[in-house]
Amino acid sequence: MLVVTNTIKVTPGYGKELSQRFAQNKGVQNMPGFIRLEVWHEAKEGQDYEELKVCTVWENEDAFKGWTSSESFRQAHRGGGSEHMLGASLNKYELLVSHPPVQ
């Protein structure tokens, strides 16, 4: 399993507004190997930016690559910039340990 995080720094006060871009299905949910998408928000008082973490979970690296090379990906990211986005970084993590709740 693979988790991909896109960490986006945004102007203070705009994190929750920009997170709504990810609320609608833009094709990723239909991709083979896609498991889920979550958007996390952090706003620390006094900091000069807020942070959104867009986390997608995939069955494997090939499933993620299928998304990034798809027409749906290109359409979802067309015109996606905003004056309030200050920068972004992408990281990939392989799941090594997971504990489901005890029943």
Tokens of 21: 């871009």
Q: CB within 8 A of 27, min separation 6: which ones? A: 70, 72, 73, 75, 76
pLDDT at residue 101, rounded to an integer: 95
Average pLDDT over residues 42-69: 96
Structural contact between residues 36 and 57, judged by C-beta atoms closer than 8 angstroms = yes
What are the backbone angles phi and psi of residue 40, rounded to the nearest 5°? Answer: -110, 145
Confidence of residue 98 (pLDDT cuts 50, 70, 90): very high
pLDDT at residue 77, rounded to an integer: 81
Rounded to whole angstroms, how far apart are CA atoms 102 and 29? 28
DSSP helix/strand/coil, 64: helix
The alpha carbon of 52 is separated from its chain's Cα centroid by a whole number of angstroms, namely: 8
Average pLDDT over residues 32-56: 96
Confidence of residue 26 (pLDDT cuts 50, 70, 90): confident
pLDDT at residue 102, rounded to an integer: 95
Average pLDDT over residues 29-39: 97
Rounded to whole angstroms, how far apart are CA atoms 6 and 30? 19
Q: Is the pTM of this model over 0.75?
A: yes
Confidence of residue 80 (pLDDT cuts 50, 70, 90): low
